[in-house]
């Protein structure tokens, strides 16, 4: 088995992810898997990097509002002489306003292109009508479509909204036809089995991360014992999952790759047990703190009752529930 030189762990998962997905082959494979069920529609050679800054100024009647926003990764996909803009937003945690956030990113992208038309026509002085001058673009001008994927690589399933309507209060039935909904294109690393990937790096990141998150040690062992994986991919998965022992799987040991694999499995089991114990201790300590606070409130209320304070006076500081519990404890003395 090939030995890999494991690089120093990258501290920020988003930074590591941006570096990984800027590669055109990986970026194209992700979009092909999600948008075209694995069909090789997007050619990596047809992708070019774009400026991720989509900041813009929204003009109102009496003032201007500046919005400063930077996208994670954005590329042009050339299909003939024209192109489509493909964006990728990275999420380590569910974002409960993601439809609004994604809508804003796409909207600022369209605004940026409209402003480029405006600046060009002003420079060339070639507005084709007074209405075009007021609009900032000519009637014949066309902007390019923006397609955005939200790539969520957290350990738990996404529990946030996936469309704008998920965030709304009830919409009257009569008004629903007028409401313009907006759906995000969500990709979860936990759903790795849904996608047909061809790029080995992308396939490994999805599959190994998913197996670690779901604690599928048997699948990890069966699939990756004696299978070489590039050190960059090991480093990325380590950064995503926080599991620092991952390199055991992909490096030779004195007794061969299988022994290294099972050593890794053992390490993972121990680490998960330790995390479970730590979480249990944290919950226990928290419950102990709560019980202590409840006991303090009860003692205080009993003292106030014994001093002759009325129930109304006590309820200005404590809840009805606390009062009733203290009264019951006092009567049981």
- Which tens digit of pLDDT belongs to each residue from 67-76? 667 889 999 9
> SS in 3 state form for 139-181?
CCCCCCCEEEEEEECCCCCCCCCCEHHHHCCCCCHHHHHHCCC
Q: How many CB atoms lie within 10 A of CB 329?
A: 14
Let me know if 289 is exposed, middle or buried by CB neighbors in 10 A (0-12, 13-18, 19+): exposed
- What is the Cα–Cα distance from 312 to 215, expressed in whole angstroms? 55
- Which tens digit of pLDDT belongs to each residue from 132-167? 888 889 999 999 999 999 999 999 999 999 999 999
Can you list the pairs that 162-168 forms with residues at least 24 positions away whose Cβ atoms lie under 8 Å?
162/98, 162/99, 162/186, 163/99, 164/99, 164/100, 164/103, 166/99, 167/96, 167/97, 167/99, 167/100
172: left (phi over 0), alpha (psi -120 to 50) or beta: beta
8 Å CB contact between 91 and 146: no
**How many CA atoms lie within 13 Å of 26's alpha carbon, on the beta-carbon side?**
17
- Which tens digit of pLDDT belongs to each residue from 171-195? 899 999 999 999 999 999 999 889 9
Is the per-residue pLDDT at 14 higher than 60? Answer: yes
In this prediction, residues 220-240 reach a mean pLDDT of: 81
pTM, 2 dp: 0.71
Give me the phi and psi of 269, to 5 degrees please. Answer: -60, -45
Is the per-residue pLDDT at 10 higher than 50? Answer: no
- What is the Cα–Cα distance from 299 to 314, expressed in whole angstroms? 13
Structure tokens given for 9? 């762990």
pLDDT band at 3 (very low <50, low <70, confident <90, very high): very low
- Which tens digit of pLDDT belongs to each residue from 290-304? 666 777 778 778 777
């Amino acid at each position: 088995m090939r030995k890999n030189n494991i690089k120093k762990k990258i501290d920020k998962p988003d930074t590591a992810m941006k570096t990984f997905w800027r590669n055109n082959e990986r970026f194209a494979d992700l979009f092909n898997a999600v948008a075209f069920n694995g069909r090789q529609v997007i050619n990596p050679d047809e992708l070019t990097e774009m400026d991720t800054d989509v900041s813009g100024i929204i003009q109102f009647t009496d003032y201007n509002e500046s919005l400063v926003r930077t996208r994670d990764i954005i590329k042009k996909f050339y299909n003939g002489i024209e192109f489509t803009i493909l964006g990728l937003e990275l999420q380590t945690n569910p974002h409960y306003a993601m439809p609004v956030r994604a809508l804003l990113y796409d909207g600022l992208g369209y605004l940026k292109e409209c402003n480029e038309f405006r600046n060009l026509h002003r420079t060339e002085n070639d507005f084709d009508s007074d209405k075009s001058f007021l609009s900032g673009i000519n009637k014949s001008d066309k902007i390019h479509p923006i397609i955005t994927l939200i790539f969520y690589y957290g350990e738990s399933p996404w529990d946030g909204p996936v469309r704008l309507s998920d965030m709304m209060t009830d919409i009257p039935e009569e008004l629903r036809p007028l409401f313009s909904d907006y759906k995000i294109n969500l990709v979860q690393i936990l759903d790795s089995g849904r996608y047909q990937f061809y790029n080995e790096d992308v396939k490994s990141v999805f599959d190994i991360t998913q197996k670690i998150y779901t604690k599928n040690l048997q699948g990890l062992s069966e699939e990756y014992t004696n299978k070489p994986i590039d050190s960059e991919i090991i480093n990325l998965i380590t950064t995503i999952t926080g599991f620092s022992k991952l390199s055991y799987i992909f490096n030779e040991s004195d007794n061969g790759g299988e022994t290294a694999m099972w050593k890794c499995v053992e390490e993972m089991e121990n680490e998960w047990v330790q995390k479970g114990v730590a979480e249990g201790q944290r919950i226990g300590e928290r419950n102990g703190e709560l019980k202590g606070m409840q006991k303090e409130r009860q003692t205080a209320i009993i003292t106030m009752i014994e001093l002759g304070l009325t129930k109304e006076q006590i309820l200005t500081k404590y809840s009805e529930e606390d009062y009733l519990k203290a009264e019951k404890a006092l009567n049981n003395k």
